[in-house]
A and B are shown apart, each in its own frame.
Chain A
Amino acid sequence: MSDQKQLTRRRLLKTSAAAATAATAAPYFFTRGALADSHAYRNAPTGDSVTFGFNVPQTGAYSEEGKDELRAYELAVEHINAGGGGMLDTFSSKALKGGVNGKKVKFVTGDTQTKSDAARASAKRMIENDGAIMITGGSSSGVAIAVQGLCQEAGVIFMAGLTHSNDTTGKDKRANGFRHFFNTEMTGAALGPVLKNAFGSDRRAYHLTADYTWGWSQEGSIKKYTEQLGWQTAAAVRTPLGAGDFSQYITPVLNSGADVLVLNHYGKDMVNSLTNAVQFGLRDKQVNGKDFAIVVPLYSRLMAQGAGENVKGIFGSTNWHWSLADEGSKAFVKSFGEKYGFPPSQAAHTTYCQAILYADACQRAGTFKPSEVGKSLEGFKFDGLGNGPTEYRADDHQCFKDVLVVKGKENPSSKFDVLEVVEVTPRAKVEYPASLLGGELGPYNNG
């Protein structure tokens, strides 16, 4: 019995050592292979098609956004394979002529569930089992950062979806990751001056902040820019994610002496906290002889619908809005609206752009190899995708473009007509040095 135990233990130790060696060496096998053949890379397509992996929340609280992202991806694939349609017709690059590098685009989908573990598992499955050459999508910064890390390790490109935290292209940036969506730094820079014009420079702000990476990032940016304009911060209170009823966090605002409430919440938390704030009469209140103001720094039209009339007159920012009148936006709204019967959300817009931008970069690079595609995207300047002249900055793989400041519409004409654009802040005013947000891109990984 004792011998058997020893034998088992020894075998266990041997097996563990072998497994550990294999696990440690595995990444180098890929690297060695890649170095031996400069054309080899992870999931290099061999047939007449190439597979994109769309990793979006199909279940859970953000599944409506996920569905809209999937619709946009399907539309983008249609347009890429057809070599035209939608914003592909207005896109300044004319490299795509039907398919990518002579291959038809196919896609597989995964469900992030808006959980980092689930998102990584579905991305891994698409890379390892389905041969996805690129992963894109998502509706949360926590998820985006987790999947970006996985794609870097696996050696495929990650085209981030809806992620607004500075960290995605700041301290957690990776060479294989690219973000089209704006971030909290840009929101602060765009929103600050508009808030000053609307409410003056003598204000005391009370922040309620979702207690996770995006919330901290958003709170920091808004505090930074409003304090630069002369505002004081009365308090910044962290609230648990998914708190449900926010009344116990709203009531202290009443006696705080603050005259602005900043809700650094997104999704359902935003709907609930804004609804609660309006219920407590904050929108109609007067403090210090001034009208009390509520600010929601990041708006999502899909989510704002959930707050109903409570969004009226509330300022915020957004990456894109379907009411924009430029040719790219009009073409996208038309193609999306005719296919699905309603206008696209900002989540749909950014994911459509990401699919098009990736396909175009591959076509221009003449390969799907991540390092070559990445270089093709770095410093790429383009127009016609709904945000005006845009650049994928090489230093941090962040897109720089105009930022929209919006306000809840007082007299909406339909259920989609929730927000109105009050200012388009030019790119120059929201740009910052890449070193500001820290992090290192590191080298590309080709798998």
Chain B
Amino acid sequence: MDGLFLQILNGLDKGGAYALIALGLTLVFGTLGVVNFAHGALFMLGAFCAVALQRIFATSYQAVSETKKDFLGNPLKEDVPYIQDWFGPDVAAFLMDWSVPMSILLAVPVMALIGVIMERGLIKHFYNRPHADQILVTFGLAIVVQEIIKHYFGANPIPQPAPDIVAGAANVGAWVGLGENVVYPWWRLVYFGFSAAVIFGVFAFLQFTNFGMVVRAGMQDREMVSMLGINIQRRFTIVFGLAAVVAGVAGAMYTPTLPPDYHIGMDFLVLSFVVVVVGGMGSLGGAVLAGFLLGVLQSFASMNEVKSILPGIDQIIVYLIAVIVLLTLPRGLLGRKGVMEE
């Protein structure tokens, strides 16, 4: 029972990340009709917003130590962060400790800007092109972005610790009357709450604002909305920016869970596409539902008890579920009629 409960938590945590990426993918596909393979790169760029903020805080000058030596035996040049001189060691330590949550403040404008530039500068030229062209150009863009990040930040993962206050694991077992071995990392619980809040925020934005109403109408019938005198294209550009922001903040907040490297977006991308397809192309609810469902099933499939009966199932479960869903529900779990159907 303890193991099962932990795997449910794992699945929800993993599913949160899948759902956030799939949500952005679905928003872009539902509004612009573009299959965006660069979406994983947006997640990665968000993660590197956290890395960049940490680097900004750590920007230093070098002071020659009188006592310490470097690896060559020369006097050690110690890095002294400017923020330490400007604000004192306590404030500097606080800023470094909270750099990941604070990076959201950097990620939101940066990712919105990147999203809008990407849409206006490249994606819009492919609206009326076949999906294969869109996939090729966005996949190419993703590789270019990856290589740029690798050039500046290297290929190795870069550790991004969570704030001390949420370091370590929570005794979740005591909360729900299970054993003391049922512990779960605080940061993963924070991430799950964060994912839920972002998903709720996006749905509320689309459901309860005039802007959202127009976007939803545009997703249903773009021509009709245009004929009503609404500049739907401008709104869709903003939606692309919103999708970039969702992917970006998801990436930034994910960094304490796994140290980011230039490839982290690609690691998620394929799975997220499976999530979108299983959820139903263009269905926001379907993307979220499939994200959590596949996350939980992937975790269950990794249990030793399951693997002893079905060896290797943990490596194929997501694709197996995709096959079963598409055979029984060709439009996915919550797919709409007419989407991606000629």
Q: Which residues of A does B touch, CB under 8 Å?
A: 60-64, 235, 237, 240, 242, 244-245, 247-249, 251-252, 254-255, 268, 271-272, 275-276, 279-281, 284, 302-303, 305-310, 322-323, 333-334, 337-338, 342-343, 413-414, 416-417
Q: How many A-B residue pairs have CB under 8 A?
A: 119
* Contact across chains for A337 and B157 when beta carbons are under 8 A apart: no
Interface window among B3-11, B23-31, B106-114, B235-243: B3-11
- Is B72 a contact partner of A248 (Cβ separation < 8 A)? no
Q: Is B207 in contact with chain A by the CB < 8 A criterion?
A: no
Q: Are B76 and A271 in contact (CB under 8 A)?
A: no
Give the residue of B10, B71, B159 whose beta carbon is less than 8 angstroms from that of A309.
B159
Tell me the chain B residues, 95-141 only, with Cβ under 8 Å from chain A.
none
A248 CA / B184 CA spacing, docked (Å): 12
Minimum Cβ distance to chain A for residue B255 (Å): 11
- Checking A240, A306, A309 against B156 with a beta-carbon cut-off of 8 angstroms, the contacting residue is A306
Contacts of B315 in A (CB 8 A): 240
Best-surrounded residue of B6, B14, B315 (most CB of chain A within 10 A): B6
Interface segment, B197-205, B257-265, B326-334? B257-265
Complex Cα–Cα for A306 and B267 (A): 17
Q: Give the shortest distance, in Å, between A238 (CB) and chain B (any CB).
A: 9
Chain A residues within an 8 Å CB radius of B314: 240, 248
Give the distance in Å from the alpha carbon of A337 to the alpha carbon of B267 in the complex: 35
| Chain B residues near A60 (CB-CB < 8 A) | 155
Top 5 closest A-B pairs, CB basis? A308-B159, A281-B169, A248-B302, A306-B157, A279-B185
The answer to whether the Cβ of B220 comes within 8 Å of any Cβ in the partner chain is no
Shortest distance between the CB of A242 and any CB in chain B (Å): 7
Q: Is the CB of B158 within 8 A of A306?
A: yes
On chain A, the residues within 8 Å of B3 by CB distance are: 251-252, 255
Known: A247-B13, A280-B185, A281-B183. A303 touches B258 (CB 8 A): no
A299 to chain B, nearest CB (A): 14
- A242 and B157 alpha carbons, distance in the complex (Å): 13
Q: How far is the CA of A310 from the CA of B257 in the complex (A)?
A: 12
Please state if A245 and B258 are interface contacts (CB–CB under 8 Å). Answer: yes
Q: Which of A237, A240, A276, A333 contacts B72 (CB 8 A)?
A: A333
Which residues of the partner chain A approach B267 to less than 8 Å between Cβ atoms?
242, 244
Bound-complex Cα distance A280 to B168 (A): 7
Among A279, A337, A416, A417, the residue within 8 A (CB) of B257 is A279
A308 touches B259 (CB 8 A): yes
Q: Which A residue's beta carbon lies closest to that of B77? A: A414
30 contacts across the A-B interface (CB closer than 8 A): A61-B263, A62-B155, A64-B154, A64-B156, A245-B257, A247-B188, A248-B10, A248-B298, A249-B302, A251-B3, A251-B6, A252-B303, A252-B304, A254-B182, A255-B179, A255-B181, A276-B258, A281-B168, A306-B156, A306-B157, A307-B159, A322-B71, A323-B71, A333-B72, A337-B72, A338-B72, A342-B71, A343-B71, A414-B71, A417-B71
| Residues of B bordering A, CB below 8 Å | 2-3, 6-7, 10-11, 13-14, 68, 70-72, 76, 150, 154-159, 161, 168-169, 179, 181-185, 187-188, 257-259, 261, 263, 267-268, 298-299, 302-304, 307, 314-315
Main SS class of interface, A? helix
CB closest chain-A residue, reference B260? A306
Point out the residue from A279, A334, A413 that lies within 8 Å of B68, measured CB to CB.
A413
Contacts of B184 in A (CB 8 A): 280
Residues of B within 8 A of A284 (CB): 168
Q: Which of A249, A254, A307 contacts B259 (CB 8 A)?
A: A307
CA distance A85 to B201 in the complex (A): 63
Interchain nearest-CB distance for A243 vs B (Å): 9
Chain B residue nearest to A416 in the complex (CB)? B71
Q: Are A268 and B72 in contact (CB under 8 A)?
A: no
Q: Can you name 13 extra interface pairs (CB under 8 A) apart from A242-B267, A307-B157?
A: A237-B307, A240-B314, A244-B268, A248-B302, A252-B304, A254-B182, A255-B3, A279-B169, A279-B185, A280-B183, A308-B161, A310-B159, A333-B72
Cβ of B159 and Cβ of A302 under 8 Å apart? no
Residues of A within 8 A of B6 (CB): 251, 254-255
Q: A237-B304, A248-B298 are in contact. Are A271 and B71 (CB under 8 A)?
A: no
Provide the residues of chain B in CB contact with A334, threshold 8 Å: 72
